[in-house]
Structure 1
């Protein structure tokens, strides 16, 4: 068959390929980016879905508006207000997960050859999605405080990108949190260079000991002229349930209008039943307790993983302890003659019945083969300790 030429520069996900190896009995996986299904509020979701069917069955089961189910848009508006973002329900659209929001950004903004700046490393699916639409991706370096704004400004000035894509809060895969100072600098340079900033925020509610700085979108109120230059993507997947496939996008009205038009071609609308269920759940007031529980569990697992990495791998690995999210981003040092290539270590680790994701695929350019991503979300403390001990023997 003759396939579209836009597929020529896109490869299947390295993570999805790795999952094919994870059916081996006894394997401990740190590879996925999934939340722990044991922490889903099943009872709350049962009640929410029942209420959706009892109170407005027609709205929950019928075709709906492409922009989103109005009661959910109202609840999402209220949810964003608790995070410092004032947005009218009409100022956001509901998407089928935040992944669709990224796809809609690709469809509406990227023409073949357009330059887009992303973090190095960044979310693998974003690299694939934007390349599918012909983007030339440029990496901005990241450290423990998020994207390096000094380097980012140089890249914006040089390349004049169509937009800049950032995951500023507990990024995937970096786990980094963009500092308050740098968030303000991002907005200032957005105004200075009239550059659109896309803020992807699926992990911002998963903080441990200390809440993160305000989102880039919420800080637009402090930087005149910046609100029209920011698009914000949110999701309930990591905090409530990925199976609902509920995400949303806030942005300039003209962008949302084009995105809505493209969404009509894709799926007509996000599942109205899922939207009605999510609306009832948010209305119920159960979310704060759900988030508190999730944060507590993930914080314990992150501490256990950090301690185990220091104990079992010592100076053969470096990392920054994450303050939230789902991931550790680490780098092999090769100290003491140990393995310095994460691809080599990944193969050895599988033989020891433990899995992680090598970091190279997360770079749009200049991949660092010494890097790796480990998720602590789905393994309990005992499994984390055992799995990291196995990883230590693979070195």
Structure 2
């Protein structure tokens, strides 16, 4: 028991808390709203397609996972529209869903009872691009005052807090794809310090020329033009990933408090861990330490895990490393593995949050969503990848894995509520 697990139990004033998820909101490629998106996932609907949010014809990569059917004016007031980037509008919609499904009315609670911790990896890229264009084409007087905060990573947390009057502890986590898991871990720490409930998760959106240029510079993108063959984790033909937008937000609260107010729990956040990449030459693959620590934090062994939601990089070396982690924990083909993000693309901080959402709903409905695109699992990736169609299964415990650029690794253990 080291690192995260030990630190959380050693917090000054920390109390023993069972962190349960009572609210969930998803805005992602394939569906605006949790149940709409989940139905799309279970159908195996691939929401990746040609970029429509800007003209991508001159770029070597022209596919993305876009949130279609999202009308900004339906989720954000006219007063707030000029102050916010698209990512914040998506986050506000997801937060409203999460609070509604949790049946949690912050106005009925003490002032500092509910906090907000979200993850965001890029800030308001589209907003910032517009302001930069105004600066260089028309001059500084045409840059609006909202540029001072609308681009910022913490804008989502701030705007959610303002809209719902959430005055408890707040913050933002920046750890790229691992961020959605890291934010939930931070929310659980806040519960242990006495906060009643936390709105948490991750949302990102970078589908604009400025964001696209950053993704291209970072590398790892698939240049395929067929959406069904662009993002193929663990496949021998894997050639990179596809970028998407959106994410998921949750209401996480103390289990005793949730029961006292009659709230239904979707699941339990049983274990969390975060690590950096192992030192070169150690021979340990990325994710292994994070996974081991999360299992230890949950008080379980690999034999207790019923399904793994993989990070699924879609790059041959990264896929091999994740397969090595899974083999070290469970043995070859030892546990069902899935990557529903193949239907949405990688959503930066929103990606691992959406995987958490999928894991919670899989536990609820006793079904493992499929991985689409991947046809032949590579010989050097001996994992039991769920492909083709959803797989019914008896599920009690799920392990969710995520890796972020810069060496971030995170793992979360979820347990069924009943």
TM-score by length of 1: 0.27
Which structure is higher in helix share? 1
Which structure is higher in strand share? 2
